Amino acid sequence: MRTTTKFTALAAAAAALTLGLSACSAPSDSTASSSQKKGKDADPKAALVIAASPTPHGEILNYVRDHLAAKEGLKLEVKELNDYNLPNTATQSGDVDGNFFQHKPYLDDFNKKNKTDIVPVVNVEIEPLGLYSKKGLKLSDLGSGSTIAVPNDTTNEGRALKLLADNGVIKLKDGVGSGATLHDVEDAKGVKFTELEAAQIPSRLADVDAAVINGNFAINAKLSPAKDAIALEKAEGNPYANFLAVKRGNESDPRIVKLAKLLNSDEVKQFIEKKFNGAVLPAFGPVTG
């Protein structure tokens, strides 16, 4: 029998995050005035505010801000948010001009559930999903009685279950892929699943036998996907590239056009390869699918 334990963030924590967003993203006079004009009519001299997960997205944006943006006449502000909901809600409301933290399956699911109309602009990088254990366990050690933490959001949970199935830890029903849910696990082989918000999993790794952790959160927790993961997603042909995203209609904002160009530049490619040593891979180009 499969046992599922579901944890949700405390209301106080959510309130604190929302308060933090309001505090950090209160627009300056120039930003506020520019927000009245959208798309190609936006003021190209106004600050461009982008919400991002701290690692690696914030680090990549900070590199662009500190080394490349001025040459293009771009004033870039980075708002780091360690959360998977606030960047999109802030983008939809106009509190920020865009975000950089997510992949297409996650955005599609978010738009559908929240009736938002956020769209991708350009792919930037990919962070392979990994399975980790602080108990020195191997894949072959995981079985009856083992506890494995997985992300509780729809797309990343399916991606995690597929990783486990691809490595023989569990068996999914025929024809089920990265869209799997716990109901699609045909044979859990005695594994017990703990569902957690993706950002919480690294801090709870010691409480379970193993955990599937998103690449950005793994890096932030001083885990090396290339060295520490006992199973790692393949990057080739992976549909989970992370991209710059905006509210529909703002793709032609001249500041967004400049940022997209910089995020796909040779300088950023070299920065990613040197900084993350294979834990994050450049994945430039248009978003497909």
- How does residue 23 score in pLDDT terms, banded at 50, 70 and 90? very low
Give dist(CA 85, CA 101) in Å, integer.
10
Report the number of distinct structural domains present in the chain.
2
> What residue has token string 């520490």?
228
Q: What is the spatial order of strands in the sheet that 76-80 belongs to?
A: 76-80, 48-52, 98-103, 242-247, 118-126, 281-285
Whether residue 202 sits in one domain with residue 165: yes
Q: Which two tokens stand for residue 194?
A: 């703990």
Helix (H) or strand (E) holding 192: strand 192-196
Question: Is residue 17 pLDDT above 80, yes or no?
Answer: no
3-state secondary structure of 172: strand
Task: Report the CATH number at residue 161.
Answer: 3.40.190.10
Whether residue 259 sits in one domain with residue 124: yes
162-190 pLDDT, tens digit each: 999 999 999 999 998 888 999 999 999 99
Whether residue 146 sits in one domain with residue 185: yes
**Alpha-carbon Rg for the chain in angstroms:** 19
Whether residue 220 sits in one domain with residue 173: yes
- What is the pTM (predicted TM-score) of this model? 0.72
Q: Exposed e or buried b for every residue in 176-201, given b needs 16+ CB within 10 A? A: bebebebebbeebeebbbbbbbbbbb
Percent of the chain's residues with pLDDT above 90 = 71
3-state secondary structure of 93: helix
Whether residue 85 sits in one domain with residue 16: yes
Question: Is residue 21 pLDDT above 60, yes or no?
Answer: no
**DSSP secondary structure letter of residue 96:** S
Whether residue 109 sits in one domain with residue 172: no
Listed residues 191, 208, 232: the one ending a domain: 232
Whether residue 142 sits in one domain with residue 223: yes
More confident site: 84 or 190: 190
**What's residue 127's pLDDT?**
87
Whether residue 133 sits in one domain with residue 204: yes
Whether residue 96 sits in one domain with residue 174: no
185-236 pLDDT, tens digit each: 999 999 999 999 999 999 999 999 999 999 888 988 999 888 999 999 887 7
Instruction: Among 38-47, 56-65, 78-87, 93-102, name the one with the lowest average pLDDT.
Output: 38-47
Q: Which two tokens stand for residue 106?
A: 């996650």
Listed residues 192, 207, 232: the one ending a domain: 232
**What's residue 36's pLDDT?**
54
Q: Which two tokens stand for residue 271?
A: 């920065």
Residues 178 and 166: beta-carbon distance below 8 Å? no
**What's residue 182's pLDDT?**
96
The greatest distance separating any two alpha carbons of the chain, rounded to the nearest whole angstrom, comes to 60
Find the domain containing 191 and state its range.
Answer: 129-232
149-159 pLDDT, tens digit each: 999 998 899 99
Look at residue 5 and tell me if it is in a domain.
no
Whether residue 167 sits in one domain with residue 112: no
Question: Is residue 99 pLDDT above 80, yes or no?
Answer: yes
Whether residue 200 sits in one domain with residue 153: yes
- In sequence order, what are the beta bridge partners of 118? 247
